[in-house]
């Protein structure tokens, strides 16, 4: 048995940074990873997918070039092998950078293999046992495959496997109308594929307010994507070379099918029951406000704890634990104000509560919206789809949330996020003097138009 000061299971966006911090302090740490360094973000998430989004955006701008007075000789075509290679290079560069960094840390061992608990403070990898008084689980999540008759019998794609696709689908059927599915739907439509999105609910990106969801649907349909809502999946099968998806209302023929109906934690093969670690009914590890599990000395970080599904929330998990364990701090999950983005084009930047969530939480709400067609920066760029939305408390004047769906929305929303972290009122925020011409300059205008609903 090999003894360490700390063991980290999984090399995503939380554990390795804490491991490196401890190693720099001279502690002996083991980082166990069964596949690739970097986790979802580096290998199957943010980095390769946003590289693909950039390729799709370039294709769209090229098609619209004449609107801006730029004349091109031939209609643009997309070389999918080059697109896939570009995304692959982004991943490999990041992965290799992590490997070089970890190799430079003298007291940190990187162990490749599948870790399994055999006791509360002991794990095995390929028959060898490792023990430590502190263990940090950072195993992430993977695409969830629903139990739909016939699905396992067709060559379906997931958000992981589609990244490496070097051929252009003739017709891509996307199962699921949430964030991951919508990003791939738009990018492949812009690459030149016919695309159909099949969503169970009545709204795309159903976490959002209805006006935001409808604006997202409008953006996608204007791109030529067929959006089918209120559909219950019945069967998936083959009809010659086609893949056929049947719902309770439709029958759709396609060349490829992408399964994007959610994700599930990678906790089912860790032997966590042998360590006495509790999970919820979805398999997410239960943690307290400081990310500790019910077992003393064991923490769960990142997607596997169900308390955030983003790279930035995973990294913030590292910051919380590092502050509390190493710096004498007292940071808590409940202090985190959640923000995230949807990277269709134009993107959605979201922070805090939606209008619906604020009302359900008992707030008296005031709301302001503004179409992007009335935002000077959007008009100048010729990208006027979407809207800006701000939500505040009518009694306390506190900023509760914002949804910026439009060009630059994923960046502009940070002004609201930072104001919320500073516990700012709208009265204070409205007297800022933002730069013109930007999207963010409309925040004081939105504040001035707030009305109770």
Catalytically active residues are 436
Total length of the chain: 453
- Nearest CA to 20 out of 107, 123, 92, 97 is that of 107
């Amino acid at each position: 048995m090999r003894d360490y000061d700390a063991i980290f299971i999984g090399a995503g966006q939380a554990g390795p940074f804490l491991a490196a911090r401890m190693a720099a302090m001279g502690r002996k740490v083991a980082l166990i990873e069964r596949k690739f360094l970097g986790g979802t973000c580096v290998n199957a998430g943010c980095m390769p997918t946003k590289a693909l989004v950039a390729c799709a955006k370039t294709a769209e701008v090229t098609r619209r070039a004449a609107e801006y007075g730029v004349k091109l000789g031939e209609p643009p075509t997309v070389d999918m092998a080059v697109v896939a290679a570009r995304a692959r290079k982004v991943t490999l560069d990041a992965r290799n950078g992590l490997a070089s960094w970890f190799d430079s840390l003298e007291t940190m061992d990187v162990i490749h293999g599948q870790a399994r608990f055999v006791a509360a403070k002991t794990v095995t990898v390929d028959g060898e046992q490792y023990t430590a008084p502190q263990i940090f689980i950072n195993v992430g999540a993977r695409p969830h495959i629903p139990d739909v008759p016939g699905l396992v019998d067709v060559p379906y794609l997931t958000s992981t496997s589609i990244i490496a696709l070097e051929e252009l689908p003739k017709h891509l059927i996307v199962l699921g109308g949430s964030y991951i599915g919508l990003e791939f739907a738009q990018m492949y439509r812009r690459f030149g594929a016919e695309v159909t999105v099949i969503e169970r609910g009545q709204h795309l990106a159903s976490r959002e307010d209805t006006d935001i969801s409808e604006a997202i649907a409008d953006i996608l349909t204007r791109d030529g994507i067929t959006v089918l809502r209120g559909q219950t999946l019945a069967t998936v099968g083959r009809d010659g070379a086609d893949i056929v998806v049947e719902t309770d209302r439709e029958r759709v023929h396609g060349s490829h099918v992408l399964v994007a109906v959610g994700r599930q934690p990678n906790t089912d093969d860790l032997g966590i029951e042998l360590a006495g670690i509790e999970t919820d009914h979805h398999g997410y590890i239960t943690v307290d406000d400081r990310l500790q599990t019910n077992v003393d000395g064991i923490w769960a970080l990142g997607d596997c704890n169900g308390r955030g599904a983003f790279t930035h929330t995973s990294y913030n998990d590292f910051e919380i634990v590092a502050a509390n364990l190493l710096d004498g701090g007292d940071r808590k999950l409940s202090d985190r104000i959640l923000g995230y983005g949807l990277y269709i084009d134009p993107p959605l930047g979201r922070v805090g509560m939606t209008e619906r969530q604020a009302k359900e939480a008992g707030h008296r709400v005031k709301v302001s919206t503004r179409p992007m067609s009335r935002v000077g920066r959007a008009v100048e760029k010729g990208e006027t789809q979407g809207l800006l939305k701000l939500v505040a408390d009518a009694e306390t004047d506190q900023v509760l949330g914002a949804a910026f769906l439009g060009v630059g929305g994923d960046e502009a929303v940070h002004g609201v996020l930072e104001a919320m972290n500073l516990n700012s009122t709208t009265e204070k925020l409205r007297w800022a003097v933002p730069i013109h011409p930007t999207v963010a300059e409309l925040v004081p205008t939105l504040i001035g138009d707030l009305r109770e609903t």
